[in-house]
Amino acid sequence: MALKLRRNRSPKPPLTCDIGTCMQVLGGAWTPNIVWFLSGGPRRFGELRRDIPTISAKMLSARLKALESRGVVTRRVAPTSPPSAEYSLSDLGRDYVPAIMAIAEVGARLKARAAAEAA
């Protein structure tokens, strides 16, 4: 006997799914980490490399360029010798911070639950 197909009761997404649009930006490897560390204020490239020691310079550079092109990060070049660039979150980038914090809180609860089950 076949099971009856149930109706989906979740709200209908708009034609272009907002979650998918958001995750196109946040879904990349290292992107949430970069936004997280920039939420504390402007950082230079070397400071971000120290913040995220497991990311390669090539990957960090690529992610920063992608975030800048999408308007999430702003880049300011200081007129020093040698020139240095400082990265900060744009208004759009700051909108991502509460979402990343909520995801981090869920992750912490999952870790605590796994630790309790292992004990």
pLDDT in tens, 31-42: 999 999 999 999
- For residue 66, what is the domain's CATH number? 1.10.10.10
| Number of domains the chain contains | 1
Whether 17 is covered by a domain: the verdict is no
- Cis peptide bond prior to 32, omega within 30° of 0: no
Tell me, yes or no, whether 44 lies in a domain.
Answer: yes
Number of helical (H) and strand (E) elements in the chain, helices listed first: 5, 3
In terms of C-beta density within 10 A (0-12 exposed, 13-18 middle, 19 or more buried), how is residue 31 classed? buried
Q: Which of 14, 83, 100 is nearest to 44 (CA)?
A: 83
In a domain, 22, yes or no: no
* Structural domain contains residue 7: no
Residues with pLDDT less than 50, the chain: none
Would 56 be classed as within a structural domain?
Answer: yes
Instruction: Residue 55: give the domain boundaries.
Output: 27-118
User: What pLDDT does residue 8 have?
Assistant: 77
- What are the structure tokens assigned to 119, written together? 């004990």
